[in-house]
Amino acid sequence: MRVSLKRFLAVTLLLLLPVVAVQSVKQTSWGPILAAPSSRQTGSPNAKVVIVEYSDFQCPSCALVEPTIHQLLDLYKGKIRLIYKYYPLTKIHKNAMPAAHAAECASAQKQFWPYHDRLFQTQLSWATLPDPTTSFMAIAQETQLNIPAFRTCYADPSPIPAIEQDAKEAVNREVKATPTFFVGDDRLVGPVFMTDGAR
């Protein structure tokens, strides 16, 4: 697929994000994107255009853009692939890491995207809880996960390094706000929750 179509998709994404102040930044290279499990990718696996999203489940702007992302995937069905990368802003969003942990446990059961959607849809109900575990368990039931396996995974810290690896990658790629999207070398930034000093 030609670069011009990648640019077109980047412009389309900009136009479809009216709820977030977005700026487009161009640079020849932002550093490498590490492999992501197939369970955290959606769209055509053979698509030549890949969108990488760095996001925080407790970020209100990230929740606001989700319907637009679904619209984009429908509009360009078969032509694009979306990769989700964790970037929990732990200093300002105390439940962001637990939410990412829960999502990674859903990912282990190949149910990342239904769980991802419900986390954003119910964000206001769990974001400020002292302990969001009950909410995350309820979402696990809604998305028909294996509850004993989910509970065991959520109690196990071993999924956390995968989340931290994504966050480190975000820092290395100069991600400064959530959500941030990359379409090829084009970076689209929603500068609402700045990450400088926020992790």
User: For residue range 53-88, what is the model confidence (pLDDT) as tens digits?
Assistant: 999 999 999 998 888 888 888 888 888 899 999 999
Mean pLDDT to the nearest integer, 94-120: 98
Q: At residue 95, does pLDDT exceed 90?
A: yes
Q: If you average pLDDT over every residue of the chain, what do you get?
A: 83
What is the pLDDT, as a whole number, of residue 33? 63
Phi/psi zone of residue 197: left (φ > 0), alpha (ψ -120 to 50 degrees), beta?
left
User: For residue range 155-183, what is the model confidence (pLDDT) as tens digits?
Assistant: 999 999 999 999 999 998 888 889 999 88
Q: Which residue has the tokens 């209100």?
A: 60
- CA-based diameter of the chain, in Å? 49
Q: How many CA atoms lie within 13 A of 93 on its CB side?
A: 25
Helix, strand, coil percent content, the chain, rounded in steps of 5: 45, 20, 35
The two three-digit tokens of residue 156, written as one number? 């196990």
Mean pLDDT to the nearest integer, 139-150: 98
* pTM for this predicted structure: 0.82
Q: At residue 2, does pLDDT exceed 50?
A: no
The two three-digit tokens of residue 178, written as one number? 């959530």
Q: How many CB atoms lie within 10 A of CB 36?
A: 18
